[in-house]
């Protein structure tokens, strides 16, 4: 008995290999999703509700092209429209996704993973520190090509007054908490010293701290903060090396590399990049 081959039917409109109208499937994904995603990126970038024409311009598309995407995103809850102003903002589903993402990301894990590559780029020893309740605590040290002969190990406290790491915490933690930590180190009243106060203000403005031959002669360092998605100081990453090999200027290659690394970790934690960066 000869079996007759089953007739071949064309793919239905629901076939996953078909192309929906206005949608191009490429090896990298679905183009229309990527195009519409520019609207979500625009809202995340500006951080405020926007009129259709302004949102479309920010996403580099026409209002007529943007509107259908906004309707679909609205049905999903990714975008919502204010009934009074008509402006568009991120919707409840976008908020839920953001909060879940923040809960799933571990800042310590991200920082530790980044340290080996950062030590190689900077050519010096790098470390990560968190606030331990009473002082900054070093949680990881990654040695660079040039060894640093100082007592710095996992679990040790960093001086609030004389290390680049400590000065970032001193600049960004609550003043009452910082004053107590400094007093425990034997530096009561340090926040009232004009020179130290100016240093901390410079850290706030530039986003980086530096020390030269303070705690150990011939050893200098840089440090920069990592922020979480709520704008809180999550941890501090520092670069330490012989003074002769450290570039301490805020616009130096080492400083810019360190700042870029901490900004990238901050962004993965949900922090927004500052316009001035």
In a domain, 78, yes or no: yes
What pLDDT digit, counting tens, does each position of 33-88 carry?
A: 888 889 998 888 787 899 999 999 999 999 999 999 999 998 998 999 999 999 99
Taking the C-alpha atoms of residue 52 and residue 12, their distance in angstroms, rounded to an integer, is 35
Q: Please check whether residue 44 is in contact with residue 37, taking contact to mean a CB–CB distance below 8 angstroms.
A: no
Question: How many residues can be counted in the chain?
Answer: 277
Q: What's the Rg (C-alpha) of the chain? A: 26
Looking up residue 115, the CATH number of its domain turns out to be 3.30.450.40
| C-alpha neighbours within 13 Å on the C-beta side of residue 175 | 7
Residue owning tokens 């990301």: 105
In a domain, 184, yes or no: yes
pLDDT at residue 116, rounded to an integer: 96
Residue owning tokens 């520019």: 38
Taking the C-alpha atoms of residue 123 and residue 110, their distance in angstroms, rounded to an integer, is 20
Q: Please check whether residue 96 is in contact with residue 88, taking contact to mean a CB–CB distance below 8 angstroms.
A: no
- How far is the CA of 225 from the CAs of 123, 209, 222, 268, in angstroms? 20, 9, 11, 14
How would you write the pLDDT of the chain (277 residues) with one tens digit per residue?
444 444 444 443 344 444 444 444 445 678 888 888 899 988 887 878 999 999 999 999 999 999 999 999 989 989 999 999 999 998 888 877 766 665 666 888 999 999 999 999 999 999 999 998 889 999 999 988 877 767 666 788 999 999 999 999 999 999 999 999 999 999 999 999 999 999 999 999 999 999 999 988 999 999 999 998 888 999 999 999 999 999 999 899 999 999 999 999 999 888 876 544 4
pLDDT at residue 14, rounded to an integer: 41
- List CB contacts of 88: < 8 A, sequence separation 6 or more: 43, 49, 50, 51, 52, 55, 70, 79, 80, 81, 82
Say yes or no: 76 and 110 in one domain.
no
Q: Which of 103, 130, 159 is the last residue of a domain?
A: 103
Say yes or no: 42 and 53 in one domain.
yes
- How far is the CA of 47 from the CAs of 53, 89, 229, in angstroms? 16, 9, 13
Q: Which of 62, 80, 103 is the last residue of a domain?
A: 103
Taking the C-alpha atoms of residue 85 and residue 81, their distance in angstroms, rounded to an integer, is 8
pLDDT at residue 208, rounded to an integer: 96
> Tokens at residue 143, please?
């040695």
pLDDT at residue 16, rounded to an integer: 41
Say yes or no: 262 and 205 in one domain.
yes
Residue 201 has φ and ψ, to the nearest 5°, of -65, -35
Q: What is the DSSP letter of 148?
A: -
In a domain, 12, yes or no: no
Helix (H) or strand (E) holding 101: helix 92-104
- List CB contacts of 31: < 8 A, sequence separation 6 or more: 23, 24, 25
Q: In 3D, which of 156, 183, 133 has the Cα closest to residue 238?
A: 156
Say yes or no: 208 and 89 in one domain.
no
pLDDT at residue 17, rounded to an integer: 42
In a domain, 139, yes or no: yes
Q: Which of 103, 130, 158 is the last residue of a domain?
A: 103
> Tokens at residue 38, please?
């520019």
CB atoms within 10 A of CB 171: 20
pLDDT at residue 28, rounded to an integer: 64
In a domain, 240, yes or no: yes
Looking up residue 58, the CATH number of its domain turns out to be 1.10.10.10
> Tokens at residue 70, please?
């906004």
Domain of 243 in residue numbering reads as 105-268
pLDDT at residue 274, rounded to an integer: 53
Taking the C-alpha atoms of residue 55 and residue 36, their distance in angstroms, rounded to an integer, is 12
> Tokens at residue 276, please?
């001035």
Assessment of whether the complete model's pTM goes beyond 0.75: no
pLDDT at residue 102, rounded to an integer: 54
């Amino acid at each position: 008995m000869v079996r007759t081959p089953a007739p071949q039917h064309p793919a239905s409109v629901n076939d996953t290999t078909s192309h929906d109208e206005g949608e191009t499937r490429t090896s990298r994904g679905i183009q229309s999703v990527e195009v519409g995603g520019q609207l979500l990126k625009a809202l995340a970038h500006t951080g405020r509700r926007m009129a259709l024409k302004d949102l479309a311009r920010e996403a580099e598309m026409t209002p007529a092209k943007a509107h259908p995407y906004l309707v679909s995103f609205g049905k999903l809850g990714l975008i919502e429209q204010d009934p009074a102003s008509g402006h568009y903002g991120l919707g409840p589903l976008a908020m839920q996704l953001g909060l879940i993402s923040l809960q799933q990301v571990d800042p310590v894990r991200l920082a530790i993973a980044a340290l080996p590559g950062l030590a190689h780029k900077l050519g010096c020893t790098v470390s990560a520190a968190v606030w331990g309740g009473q002082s900054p605590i070093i949680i990881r040290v990654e040695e660079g090509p040039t060894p640093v002969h100082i007592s710095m190990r996992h679990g040790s406290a960093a001086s609030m007054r004389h290390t680049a790491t400590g000065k970032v915490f001193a600049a960004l933690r609550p003043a009452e908490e910082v004053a107590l930590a400094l007093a425990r180190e034997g530096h009561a009243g340090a926040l009232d010293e004009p020179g130290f106060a100016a240093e901390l203000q410079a850290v706030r403005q530039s986003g980086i701290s530096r020390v030269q031959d303070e705690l150990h002669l011939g050893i200098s360092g840089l440090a920069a903060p990592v922020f979480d998605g709520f704008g809180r100081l999550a941890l501090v990453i520092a670069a330490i090396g012989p003074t002769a090999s450290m570039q301490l200027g805020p616009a130096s290659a080492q400083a810019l590399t360190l700042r870029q690394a901490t900004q990238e970790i901050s962004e993965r934690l949900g922090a927004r990049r500052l316009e001035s960066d």
